[in-house]
Amino acid sequence: MKDEINAFITLIDHPSPGIPIAIKDNICTKGIRTTAGSKVLADFIPSYSATLVERLENAGFSIIGKTNLDAFAHGSSTENSDFGVTLNPYDHQRLPGGSSGGSAAAVGAGLVDFAIGTETAGSIRQPAAWCGVVGFKPTYGYVSRYGVIAMASSMDCPGVIANNINNVIKVFEVISGHDSKDATSLSLPPFRFKQDRLIDGLKIGIPKSYLKITAPEVLEKFNQVGDIFRKLGHEVIEIEMLDPAIAIAVYTILQSSEVSSNLARFDGIRYGQDRRYFNPENQRRILLGTYALSADSYEQYYIKALKVRTLIINDFNKHFKNIDVILAPTTPTTALPLGSSLDDPLFGEYADQLVEPSTLAGLPGITVPCSLIDGLPVGFQIIGPRLSENLILNLALQYESIKN
């Protein structure tokens, strides 16, 4: 296989027979180098596989490679990868998004039909939208985190990137379900999809505050999506939700705090190289988290953010009493040019601002490609209440069938 877009950090020379799948390189694969996109782990070969990898292999999937990501999943561009940026398959001068940029670009370029990504706040849906593919982030805890190199444990969630919704479902059915090795795993059997072709009459809410920060050209395409759902017999209404800027602040504090704790284990003794090998973005997040957790700032920042997280969850719960799902653009813009993230320490937070609130609440969401603007893909997302996977996948399928 020719990887002209640097989607892979490692390609397997002779993959075992099976259904080809790519795995994000922050997911442990026994005997296959797992770098997390960082020089800290440049030579790390795990002695065990993540639960989701074991399940995929047992179901007949074959790993063909490990995909590129921002080092330790810190970023939304793959420009923070220590193995070079991945190029957007639609335009090689553009970013693929991140942190699962390698997985999204590999699917977008047609190198593979399915890939596994992880999302802490947008890292599946944002790159999937920028690369013109489907990205699915399940309810937190539905897929085991065992063997996933931790970033922010209270939000980390593996999910699926694929070239269509049926392929997302196939993979999700395999990787989902309880795992006793993950203390935060939900006590649920593996997901089984029940198709409802006649689904109609749903009440769909569009948050006004999300539209205010969306570029006009993206908004125009998104409005066409709303019209399609109306024609399908659903009621589409605008709703008032909390300003995503609040979620950005909460996410930044909580994520960096958990990062500083999780990355303390990389001391050069047990794993890989020493801490001088962390790149500038990793360093910023570790220091910021250390600051937020220090005695002087703990109440002011960390505890405050945890409380506002409760308000964000309450906001979703309140709306889900009156509506079935939320519909929104996935990203405020289409893919940005290479280099866009390099001078802005808040690049990721703004690129992911339409997905961060739902991730903080642990909700499931799916992004579906809907259009092109100047040759670049645009995606919209459907967010549902906890464990509403069957509903949002059915709705996404309904849209996909109309578009096709």
Partner 1 sequence: MIIDLDKLSHLANLPINNPTEIIDDLNKITVQFNVLDKIDTDQIESTFQVNGLKNITRPDKVQSTSPIHQGFFVTSSLKNQNER
Q: How far apart are CA 115 and CA 379, in angstroms?
A: 18
Q: Which of residues 360-379 bind partner 1 (CB under 8 A)?
A: 360-362
Beta-carbon count within 10 A of 339 CB: 12
Q: How does DSSP classify residue 274?
A: -
d(CA 120, CA 124): 8
| Burial environment of residue 105 by CB neighbours within 10 A (0 to 12, 13 to 18, 19 or more) | buried
Active site residue 209: no
Nearer to partner 1, 96 or 357 (CB): 357
Q: What does each C-alpha distance from 386 to 132, 174, 345, 389 come to in angstroms?
A: 26, 19, 31, 8
User: Does residue 262 bind partner 1 (CB under 8 A)?
Assistant: no
60 counts as binding partner 1 under rule CB under 8 A: no
Q: Which of 76, 77, 100, 123 is catalytic?
A: 123
Residue 248 contacts partner 1 per CB under 8 A: yes
The count of chain residues that interact with partner 1, using the rule CB under 8 A, is 46
Tell me the backbone φ, ψ of residue 295, rounded to 5 degrees.
Answer: -55, -35
Active-site option among 49, 99, 256, 257: 99
Which residue lies nearer to partner 1 by CB, 166 or 283?
A: 283
The distance in angstroms from the start CA to the end CA of the chain is 29
- Under the binding rule (CB under 8 A), the answer on residue 240 touching partner 1 is no
Q: Does residue number 195 form part of the binding site for partner 1 (CB under 8 A)?
A: no
Q: Taking CB under 8 A as the rule, does residue 313 contact partner 1?
A: yes
Determine the interface stretch with partner 1 among 12-20, 72-80, 217-225, 344-352 (rule: CB under 8 A).
344-352
Confirm whether 185 is a catalytic residue.
no
Nearer to partner 1, 184 or 340 (CB): 184
Identity of the residue, 263 or 392, whose beta carbon is nearer to partner 1 in the bound complex: 263
Q: Which is nearer to partner 1, 149 or 186 (CB)?
A: 186
- Please name the helix (run of DSSP H) or strand (run of DSSP E) that holds residue 230, with its range, or none: helix 216-231
b/e burial code for range 234-259 (CB count within 10 A of at least 16 → b) = bebeebebbebebbbebbbbbbbbbb
Q: Taking the complex as a whole, how short is the minimal distance between the CB of residue 235 and partner 1, in angstroms?
A: 28
Quick one: 142 or 229, whose CB is closer to partner 1? Answer: 142
Q: Which of 87, 169, 174, 305 binds partner 1 (CB under 8 A)?
A: 305
Strands of the sheet with 235-239, listed across from one edge: 8-11, 61-67, 19-24, 114-119, 157-162, 134-137, 365-373, 376-383, 325-329, 203-207, 235-239
141 is an interface residue for partner 1 by CB under 8 A: yes
Q: Is the Cβ–Cβ distance between 262 and 150 less than 8 Å?
A: yes
What is the DSSP-derived secondary structure letter of residue 301?
I
Indicate if 203 belongs to the active site. Answer: no
Q: 158: which 2 tokens?
A: 């593996």
* CB of 344 vs partner 1, minimal distance in Å: 9
Query: What element of type H or E holds 316?
Result: helix 304-319
Q: Is 41 a residue that touches partner 1 (CB under 8 A)? A: no
User: Interface with partner 1 by CB under 8 A: which residues?
Assistant: 140-141, 154, 183-184, 186, 243, 245-246, 248-250, 252-253, 260, 264, 267, 275-276, 278, 280, 283-284, 286-288, 290-291, 294, 301, 303-311, 313, 345-346, 349, 360-362
Q: Which residues are catalytic?
A: 24, 99, 123
